[in-house]
Chains A and B, each alone.
Chain A
């Protein structure tokens, strides 16, 4: 019982009405899944791990949209802007000052650049009274601007330090993340990159769980539900939106650095309209009010798209589109919340005494 209590107490900061999975059963399953994921590279090798790492880093991008859209009610197509800005910053910093120390420093600096960019855009929008759907289109326009701009930087005049921005071709040969202490240094690639990304995703996920189930999380949800009421209760809605947008920008930026180092490559296509729409798809399918949903949907959808593409079938895009349509039409609240409810129902029927009141979002 003592161990169980300690376990429960450990889980408590991450539990609340704003997330799925507030039972001991959930957390035990969670730990099992995490352990299995940690072991994945050992069982399947570095190549499989490095493929999977891409999906995990996309999941961080998905989470960044989940808190902005799902929890605060701002639909942004601009997450890829901060994702791409951080990717480009990382490339420029790490390639201009190519020592291991600067590669380490380039990570936080790039995330900071992306965060500042998101705060500037957020201030511009939220303090400029840009409303609802106009925020959505404005963020879409910003990513199109970035796409147009970066795509024409092919000329030699577009060189920052010794690194050419490269236009449509992008920047290849970006160094991998390297951590060094004294003379020893670790280059993150293959399995080690996977573990780094997995742990980062875990930290982000748990951190956001704690956030949305905390005081600030309640004000986020209140803002989503009714801005005027929240304002009347004495909260500064604009400030809340700005802070969440900044946090989203930081997370997207972090994912962007991981992305740039994953393929050692970044190009203007990260700002393109297709890539800008993808995070919205992940979050909508997974359940926009569920952090877990965003993570699972991101990984599953991206894995699925990759498998379809590998078959070489010309129907790949059609199938992706059809699956999305079906998900939107028939599972409006998102796949993961629906599964959660289904699981709870099964359990309720099989057990006489149901667990403590369990949280489904909403």
Chain B
């Protein structure tokens, strides 16, 4: 019964108990570990002959629009794996509560997932704020964690794998294209929180690298939904194109408002459309002339993607869109299964070591690979253009690796354990110089 209890040897209280790594390192204590596993109720995979995955995604509250597809895609991946016999011949169970877009609840549920449900791996959170709220708990408990949203970049954490494209990958795709096409004067409007601020720093870094200028910059609180003065300011500055790093439902109001105000400029973005499918929700031509640098949109014109999209809608016929994070959750769960199969266990330390060797993944977006040293993905990046009928066209495509941690900072998580987030302002003059 308790033969597999090794993975259950986590103590009830991850803080005071010996860490899983040190516990396992003692080796030869299988019997003791098994006993501990049985005594603690055997909530983990070992005792129950199942693998337990924690899926914490918002299905209510502010981020439900983004969290629901992440949840759906996770369930799709898990169903497919279970239909194929599960992981290591064991069926996959899930712990999938609804954190309600509330970070305090995320903290509670993360502790519950680790300490009580004893999940073998965890997927959690849409916003950077959520990730930063739970990362200390993840690190304390040495829990294997996948963060799947596209984000500002820079997280170097021994237990966290960032599956989404980083700002540098996304902006590095779309900005050179826009500079070539439209000119060098850039106006940035960005959500006023860490993601927006750091992304705006990257806009400056990339502008500098491509001999362009940021001629104006405006940070907009997440609570703002009226954009009259922002539109005035853009018209006043008269840039060649605008970088719009807007986030959330309130900011989506910008597109209707700029259209009705007649602001007809090219827009570059790393956030809109691919996450919140604004081109499907808003009436044309609200999103006309918006160019996104993403690894994925539902419209990626490949057979492999079409097959994935079909399967998604077969399971969720009423779903509105297959977004970027869908794909990130989907391929990362498959990648986890692949790693578990190749090490032959769900032992988290072994799986992390396996992932750190790097791994090739066949994802709906294309053939991509995990950069083991930095826990990020080399993505198949594309420039997507939205036309006046809200049809999406792929303008350019090539693979872009994560570069900030691997090249600029020089992180190697195989050799040095750490749990830090690096920011461009510490490494690039362009990112820091114009900061007030």
Where the two chains meet, the residues of A that have a C-beta atom closer than 8 Å to any C-beta of B are 45-47, 50-51, 54, 148, 151-152, 154-157, 166-170, 172-173, 189-191, 263-265, 267, 269, 306, 309-314, 316-317
Query: Would you call B103 and A267 a contact (CB within 8 A)?
Result: yes
Query: Would you call B107 and A309 a contact (CB within 8 A)?
Result: no
A314: min CB distance to chain B, Å: 6
Cβ contact of B100, chosen from A151, A154, A169, A316, cutoff 8 A: A316
Q: Given the complex of chains A and B, what is the CA–CA distance between A269 and B98 in angstroms?
A: 18
B366: min CB distance to chain A, Å: 32
Query: Would you call A45 and B12 a contact (CB within 8 A)?
Result: yes
Q: Does B435 contact A (CB under 8 A)?
A: yes
Where the two chains meet, the residues of B that have a C-beta atom closer than 8 Å to any C-beta of A are 12-16, 59-60, 96-100, 102-105, 107-109, 111-112, 115-116, 127-129, 132-133, 135-136, 192-194, 196-197, 219, 221-223, 425, 435-436
Cβ contact of A54, chosen from B98, B102, B108, B425, cutoff 8 A: B108
Query: Would you call A51 and B108 a contact (CB within 8 A)?
Result: yes
With A46-B15, A263-B107 given, is the CB distance from A269 to B102 under 8 Å? yes
Cβ contact of A51, chosen from B14, B112, B219, cutoff 8 A: B112
Residues of A within 8 A of B97 (CB): 309-312
B142: min CB distance to chain A, Å: 15
- Tally the A-B contacts, defined by beta carbons under 8 Å: 118
Residues of B within 8 A of A167 (CB): 192-194, 197
B122: min CB distance to chain A, Å: 15
Q: Can you give 14 A-B contacts (C-beta < 8 A)?
A: A45-B13, A46-B13, A47-B12, A51-B112, A148-B221, A151-B222, A152-B193, A154-B197, A172-B135, A172-B136, A269-B104, A309-B109, A310-B97, A314-B59
Cβ contact of A169, chosen from B109, B112, B194, cutoff 8 A: B194
A151: min CB distance to chain B, Å: 6
Looking at A151, A154, A191, A313, the one whose CB has the most chain B CB atoms below 10 A away is A154
With A47-B12, A51-B112 given, is the CB distance from A154 to B194 under 8 Å? yes
With A47-B116, A151-B223, A265-B133 given, is the CB distance from A317 to B13 under 8 Å? no
Query: Would you call B105 and A309 a contact (CB within 8 A)?
Result: yes
Which B-chain residue is minimally distant from A157 (CB atoms)?
B436
Residues of B within 8 A of A263 (CB): 104, 107, 133
Query: Would you call A50 and B13 a contact (CB within 8 A)?
Result: yes
Q: Given the complex of chains A and B, what is the CA–CA distance between A190 and B12 in angstroms?
A: 10
Residues of A within 8 A of B223 (CB): 148, 151
Q: Given the complex of chains A and B, what is the CA–CA distance between A167 and B196 in angstroms?
A: 11
Residues of A within 8 A of B219 (CB): 152, 154-155
Which A-chain residue is minimally distant from B17 (CB atoms)?
A46
Q: Given the complex of chains A and B, what is the CA–CA distance between A172 and B219 in angstroms?
A: 23
Query: Would you call B435 and A157 a contact (CB within 8 A)?
Result: yes
With A310-B112, A316-B98 given, is the CB distance from A154 to B104 under 8 Å? no
Looking at A169, A190, A313, A317, the one whose CB has the most chain B CB atoms below 10 A away is A169
Cβ contact of A155, chosen from B14, B127, B197, cutoff 8 A: B197
Query: Would you call A152 and B192 a contact (CB within 8 A)?
Result: yes
A153: min CB distance to chain B, Å: 9
Q: Given the complex of chains A and B, what is the CA–CA distance between A160 and B119 in angstroms?
A: 38
Q: Given the complex of chains A and B, what is the CA–CA distance between A321 and B384 in angstroms?
A: 43
Query: Would you call B60 and A314 a contact (CB within 8 A)?
Result: yes
Query: Would you call B99 and A309 a contact (CB within 8 A)?
Result: yes
Residues of B within 8 A of A50 (CB): 13, 111
B291: min CB distance to chain A, Å: 25
Query: Would you call A309 and B133 a contact (CB within 8 A)?
Result: no
B118: min CB distance to chain A, Å: 11
Q: Given the complex of chains A and B, what is the CA–CA distance between A152 and B197 in angstroms?
A: 10
Which B-chain residue is minimally distant from A264 (CB atoms)?
B136
B374: min CB distance to chain A, Å: 21
Residues of B within 8 A of A170 (CB): 103, 129, 132-133
Looking at B13, B59, B102, B128, the one whose CB has the most chain A CB atoms below 10 A away is B13
5 further contact pairs, Cβ within 8 A, besides A151-B193, A190-B15, A263-B107? A45-B13, A155-B219, A156-B425, A169-B128, A265-B133
Which A-chain residue is minimally distant from B12 (CB atoms)?
A45
Q: Which 9 pairs, one residue from A and one from B, show the smallest C-beta to C-beta distance?
A: A46-B13, A168-B193, A45-B12, A47-B115, A169-B129, A310-B97, A263-B107, A190-B13, A167-B193
Which B-chain residue is minimally distant from A318 (CB atoms)?
B60
Residues of A within 8 A of B15 (CB): 46, 189-190
Q: Given the complex of chains A and B, what is the CA–CA distance between A267 and B132 in angstroms?
A: 11
Q: Given the complex of chains A and B, what is the CA–CA distance between A154 and B198 in angstroms?
A: 9
Residues of A within 8 A of B103 (CB): 170, 265, 267, 269
Q: Given the complex of chains A and B, what is the CA–CA distance between A316 and B97 in angstroms?
A: 11
B111: min CB distance to chain A, Å: 7
Residues of B within 8 A of A46 (CB): 12-13, 15-16
With A46-B12, A51-B112, A190-B13 given, is the CB distance from A172 to B132 under 8 Å? yes
A282: min CB distance to chain B, Å: 15
